[in-house]
Amino acid sequence: MRQAGLPDTAATEKDRNVRRNLMKKSMGAKSLIFPMPVWVVGSYDKDGKANAMTVAYGGICCSEPPCVTVSLRKATYSYECIVSRGTFTVNVATEAHIKEADYFGIVSGKNTDKFAVTGLTPVKSDLVDAPYIEEFPLILECKLAQTIRLGLHTQFIGEIVDVKIDEAVLDDGGTPDIEKVKPLIYATQMRRYYGMGEYLGDGYTIGKEIIKS
């Protein structure tokens, strides 16, 4: 802290950290980050029943080969489905299916056919041994590449063998358009779903304004 009568330049690094800590409150070690995705992971159980569960713990983790990661607790039914089949799909949940996306995350497929209850359509992938959701516009078909036991969650890294997208969510140039997909965003801790915000600037571009100045 700055002491009376001393110029600020005399502050030590420890003083400066004390001042910073007054402004930022420590939340402790937590799996807290904004934003998180809302994805529905599709898999088949041992009897061939299609199942789906919601995950927020996930992200793209490699560009070459293209890979995605989802982290599941062993207690979920999907966990054993993915381990036994070695494949899964990632279905991006959108504003149009917010209720179904939440439902997939609060009911287990162990004793329930979640597709029958929601009326959504599981489609057998031609490429992987897992179902995708016809009504969701953006889907990743994945082969399980690595499994990393972290603690409560186990991270499944899937190699993306194909991306399927509805033509209706492509722009005029054929590029996937996030404003047409309308993906859900999850605010963990608050346990709330949000939609996208507005366009703010171009990636790999707007930062050049700092280089110029």
Ligand X SMILES: Cc1cc2nc3c(=O)[nH]c(=O)nc-3n(C[C@H](O)[C@H](O)[C@H](O)COP(=O)(O)O)c2cc1C
Residue number with CB closer to ligand X (138 or 156):
156
Residue number with CB closer to ligand X (53 or 130):
53
Residue 136 Cβ vs ligand X, minimum distance, rounded to whole Å: 15
Please name the residues in contact with 118: beta carbons below 8 A apart, sequence gap of 6 or more.
100, 103, 104
Residue 159 Cβ vs ligand X, minimum distance, rounded to whole Å: 19
Residue number with CB closer to ligand X (76 or 94):
76
What is the amino acid identity at position 26?
Answer: S
Measured from each CB, the residue nearest to ligand X is 105
Query: What phi and psi, each to the nearest 5 degrees, are found at residue 98?
Result: -60, -40
What is the amino acid identity at position 45?
Answer: D
CB atoms within 10 A of CB 19: 13
Q: What is the DSSP string of 33-51?
A: -S-EE-EEEEEE-TT--EE
Residue number with CB closer to ligand X (24 or 192):
192
What is the amino acid identity at position 39?
Answer: W
Q: Which chain residues interact with ligand X by CB under 6 A?
A: 38, 51, 53-57, 71-73, 76-78, 102, 105-110, 186
Residue 10 Cβ vs ligand X, minimum distance, rounded to whole Å: 48
Residue number with CB closer to ligand X (108 or 194):
108
Please name the residues in contact with 94: beta carbons below 8 A apart, sequence gap of 6 or more.
136, 137, 181, 182, 183, 184
Residue 152 Cβ vs ligand X, minimum distance, rounded to whole Å: 8
Residue 110 Cβ vs ligand X, minimum distance, rounded to whole Å: 6
Report whether 105 contacts 77 (CB < 8 A): no
